[in-house]
């Protein structure tokens, strides 16, 4: 949940904190509160209402059989993914507020980090519930403890190797992201969070920072109109990305290959030198669109449009093929990362605070929030966790086994510009898991690598005197696509003729665009998705053949990524 309207008035902030603390359980005072019984939902899963207070975030464990819930009255609950039953409760005895506003699993699932007080984050063992260590971000330099000490410490991300934990410390005068070394429990690096608010802005959920896979950079959304990327090796800022409008960025997510950054536009906006939080215009879909940025070249890609109010949470699937989002319009939406189109939508009863997908890409979970008609006291808010399958039953699915005509139609549908039509084909082919790999093997071919000498000849022909030679070279280079990109860019550095320069610019324009529009490319990449979803030895064999293709080609890269995903899922099984 993003900050409610009262948050910009410091006096009301302090009043809320006093009210919340007064109503919260104290150390050792009676049993920890639990969730109520899970209720089957119309979405094919279940919902679990919190006993008291909001729910701020949810997280699946790597083996996808546990769901972590943070929020209600200073406790974190571990729920059974199948039925929503409470398996374990972890009570934060030192929590001074009435809620634990963030919690997440480590990548290996062995530990959990959660907010444990205004200064502290607690790391605890996911199997035993025992505290491993408490990480204290401390008070600002030159400030005594207790002096204007109004801030949250929120865990935001484990590094890919689980050696580091990023913690946001949202102080009034000195907000920052602190990087803790989990082998020593000590601070390793500190990154400033520029703050145009000049006042306390509560961090009520995670999502303002994300590690890039590989663990060499951390992306942070500042309380300004930009996102900063920081090097974990040097501690230096490597680049800045600007929001398309004068509002703060929020809800960051980075794809599993580290290439794509998705973010939302916050409800905060700038007014001169001040910041304020008016409601976003629900009619202006641009303000509520999810922004996509290619981190390889800094290009902003086509935004994902559909939400009718602020987006509060974004998640990439662990295979990078799907994006899940939720927010103030009380919907959860599923997007195809490949095309940038919406695949599905779930209408919920309240605003969606946080969304996540299970690592096996089969389930979604959402923390749903109801402020109980604008009540100020957080204990009067209502929180619910919803867990449901990512896929609905497919209507009019052909009876198995599929006939030759069915396969031909589905092959054509995989290339459809309409992502929902293609998604139906993906689901139907996945269900035919015995026959589909053999059938797809007959239609998919690895892309052979073109010799460098051949590329050089074609590029030289772009400046030939003969028009037909120039045209033929342009056509062949366009068909080679990604394989020709590096050679074309190098040719530009050698000051080609004006004719060759113009043709090279035209050839480069469609290259490097991560959102795909070419039908043949869409079809081959969606077919790889089908093989990944099937995951049988026969499907893996087809992927292994495709992965032997030219390394610059998107098809080769996606086949390798699919094999990597399958290996990780096999390793994560209990």
What is the domain-level CATH number for residue 283? 2.130.10.10
CB contact at 8 A, 75 and 100: yes
**If DSSP codes are grouped into helix, strand and coil, which group holds residue 368?**
strand
Query: Of the candidates 431, 400, 425, which has an alpha carbon nearest to the alpha carbon of residue 522?
Result: 425
- Looking at per-residue confidence, does 546 or 308 come out higher? 546
SS (H, E, C) 235-296: CCEEEEEECCCCEEEEEEEECCCCCEEEEEEEEEEEECCEEECCCCCCCCHHHHCEEEEECC
Is there a single domain that holds both residue 470 and residue 518?
yes
Is there a single domain that holds both residue 434 and residue 376?
no
Q: Evaluate if residue 387 carries a pLDDT over 90.
A: yes
Q: 120-124, 459-463, 497-501: lowest mean pLDDT where?
A: 120-124
Q: 209-213, 246-250, 323-327, 343-347: lowest mean pLDDT where?
A: 246-250
- The arithmetic mean of pLDDT across residues 300-314, rounded, is 89
Q: What distance in Å separates the CA atoms of residue 229 and residue 414, rounded to the nearest whole number?
A: 36
pTM: 0.85
Is there a single domain that holds both residue 370 and residue 428?
no
User: Mind listing the pLDDT tens digit for each residue in 48-68?
Assistant: 887 667 788 899 999 999 999
- 441-to-278, 401, 436 alpha-carbon distances in Å: 55, 17, 8
Of 355, 389, 423, the one marking the end of a domain is: 389
Q: Evaluate if residue 192 carries a pLDDT over 60.
A: yes
Is there a single domain that holds both residue 43 and residue 167?
yes
Is there a single domain that holds both residue 442 and residue 321?
no
Is there a single domain that holds both residue 401 and residue 380?
no
Q: Evaluate if residue 480 carries a pLDDT over 80.
A: yes
CB contact at 8 A, 3 and 152: no
pLDDT band at 143 (very low <50, low <70, confident <90, very high): low
Is there a single domain that holds both residue 83 and residue 38?
yes
Q: Which tokens in the block code for residue 555?
A: 């098809």
User: Mind listing the pLDDT tens digit for each residue in 216-259?
Assistant: 899 888 766 778 899 999 999 998 887 665 566 778 899 998 98
User: Mind listing the pLDDT tens digit for each residue in 95-135?
Assistant: 544 456 788 999 999 999 988 876 788 999 998 888 899 99
Q: 351-365, 377-391, 465-479: lowest mean pLDDT where?
A: 377-391
Q: Evaluate if residue 28 carries a pLDDT over 90.
A: no
Of 348, 364, 389, the one marking the end of a domain is: 389
Q: Evaluate if residue 142 carries a pLDDT over 90.
A: no
- The arithmetic mean of pLDDT across residues 75-89, rounded, is 89
Q: What distance in Å separates the CA atoms of residue 316 and residue 239, rounded to the nearest whole number?
A: 22
Question: Any idea which residue has 């943070």 for tokens?
Answer: 70
Q: Evaluate if residue 35 carries a pLDDT over 60.
A: no
Q: Which tokens in the block code for residue 312?
A: 């509060």
What's the half-sphere exposure (Cβ side, CA atoms, 13 Å) at 16?
22
- The arithmetic mean of pLDDT across residues 302-326, rounded, is 93
Q: What is the DSSP letter of 504?
A: H
Q: What distance in Å separates the CA atoms of residue 140 and residue 524, rounded to the nearest whole number?
A: 54
Q: What distance in Å separates the CA atoms of residue 59 and residue 78, rounded to the nearest whole number?
A: 9
Is there a single domain that holds both residue 436 and residue 380?
no
- Angle, helices 498-508 vs 467-480, to 10°: value is 30
How far, in whole angstroms, is CA 408 from its chain's centroid? 34
List the domain range (segments joined by +) for residue 316.
5-140+149-389
CB contact at 8 A, 331 and 302: no
Q: Evaluate if residue 361 carries a pLDDT over 70.
A: yes
pLDDT of residue 459: 95
Q: Which tokens in the block code for residue 187?
A: 């601070």
Q: Evaluate if residue 38 carries a pLDDT over 90.
A: no
pLDDT of residue 420: 96
- Looking at per-residue confidence, does 219 or 173 come out higher? 219
Q: What is the mean pLDDT of the chain?
A: 81
Q: 22-26, 63-67, 408-412: lowest mean pLDDT where?
A: 22-26
pLDDT band at 272 (very low <50, low <70, confident <90, very high): very low
Is there a single domain that holds both residue 426 and residue 380?
no
Q: What distance in Å separates the CA atoms of residue 492 and residue 89, rounded to the nearest whole number?
A: 61
Is there a single domain that holds both residue 97 and residue 118?
yes
Q: Return phi, psi of residue 104, to 5°.
A: -155, 150
User: What is the count of structural domains for the chain?
Assistant: 2
Among 32-46, 104-118, 307-321, the range of highest mean pLDDT: 307-321
- The arithmetic mean of pLDDT across residues 83-92, rounded, is 86
Of 389, 421, 441, the one marking the end of a domain is: 389
Specify the DSSP element, H or E, that contains 301.
Answer: strand 300-304
Is there a single domain that holds both residue 436 and residue 569?
yes
- The arithmetic mean of pLDDT across residues 2-14, rounded, is 35
Is there a single domain that holds both residue 243 and residue 229?
yes
Q: 91-100, 401-410, 454-463: lowest mean pLDDT where?
A: 91-100
């Amino acid at each position: 949940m993003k900050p409610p309207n009262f948050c910009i008035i410091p006096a009301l902030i302090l009043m809320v904190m006093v009210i919340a603390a007064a109503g919260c359980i104290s150390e050792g005072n009676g049993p920890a509160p639990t969730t109520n019984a899970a209720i089957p939902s119309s979405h094919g899963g279940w919902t679990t209402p919190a006993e008291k207070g909001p729910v701020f975030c949810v997280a699946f464990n790597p083996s996808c059989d546990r769901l972590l819930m943070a929020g209600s009255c200073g406790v974190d609950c571990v729920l059974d993914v199948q039925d929503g039953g409470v398996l374990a409760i972890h009570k934060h005895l030192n929590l001074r507020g009435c809620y634990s506003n963030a919690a997440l699993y480590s990548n290996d699932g062995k530990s959990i980090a959660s907010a444990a007080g205004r200064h502290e984050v607690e790391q605890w063992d996911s199997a035993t519930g025992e505290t491993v260590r408490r990480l204290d971000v401390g008070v600002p330099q030159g400030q005594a403890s207790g002096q204007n000490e109004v801030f949250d410490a929120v865990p935001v991300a484990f590094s890919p190797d689980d050696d580091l934990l990023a913690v946001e410390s949202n102080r009034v005068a000195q907000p920052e992201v602190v990087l803790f070394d989990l082998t020593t429990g000590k601070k390793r690096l500190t990154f400033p969070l520029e703050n145009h608010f000049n006042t306390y802005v509560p961090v009520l959920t995670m999502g303002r920072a994300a590690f890039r896979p590989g663990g060499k950079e951390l992306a942070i959304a500042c309380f300004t109109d930009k996102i900063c990327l920081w090097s974990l090796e040097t501690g230096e800022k490597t680049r800045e990305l600007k929001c398309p409008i004068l509002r703060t960025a929020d809800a960051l997510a980075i794809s599993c290959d580290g290439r794509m950054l998705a973010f939302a536009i916050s409800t905060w906006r700038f007014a001169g030198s001040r910041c304020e939080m008016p409601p976003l215009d629900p009619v202006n879909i641009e303000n509520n669109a999810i922004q996509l940025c290619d981190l390889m070249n800094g290009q902003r890609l086509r935004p994902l449009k559909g939400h009718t109010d602020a987006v509060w949470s974004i998640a990439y699937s662990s295979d990078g093929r799907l994006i899940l989002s939720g927010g103030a319009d009380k919907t959860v939406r599923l997007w195809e990362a490949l095309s940038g189109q919406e695949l599905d939508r779930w209408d919920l009863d309240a605003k969606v605070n946080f969304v996540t997908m299970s690592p096996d890409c089969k389930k979604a979970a959402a923390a749903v929030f109801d402020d109980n008609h604008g009540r100020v006291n957080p204990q009067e808010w209502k929180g619910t966790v919803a867990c449901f399958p990512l896929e609905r039953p497919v209507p009019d699915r052909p009876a198995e086994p599929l006939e030759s005509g069915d396969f031909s139609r589905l092959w054509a549908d995989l290339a459809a510009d309409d992502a929902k039509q293609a998604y139906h084909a993906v689901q139907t082919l996945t269900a035919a898991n015995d026959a589909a790999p053999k059938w797809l093997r007959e239609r998919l071919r690895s892309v052979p690598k073109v010799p460098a000498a051949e590329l050089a000849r074609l590029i030289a022909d772009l400046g030939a005197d003969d028009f037909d030679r120039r045209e033929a070279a342009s056509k062949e280079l366009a068909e080679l696509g990604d394989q020709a990109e590096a050679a074309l860019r190098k040719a530009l550095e050698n000051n080609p003729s004006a004719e060759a320069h113009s043709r090279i610019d035209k050839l480069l324009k469609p290259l490097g665009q991560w959102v795909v529009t070419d039908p043949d490319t869409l079809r081959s990449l969606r077919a790889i998705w089908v093989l990944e979803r099937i995951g049988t030895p026969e499907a893996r064999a087809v992927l292994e053949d495709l992965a032997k293709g030219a390394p610059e080609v998107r098809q080769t890269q996606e086949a390798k990524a699919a094999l990597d995903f399958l290996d990780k899922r096999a390793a994560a099984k209990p």
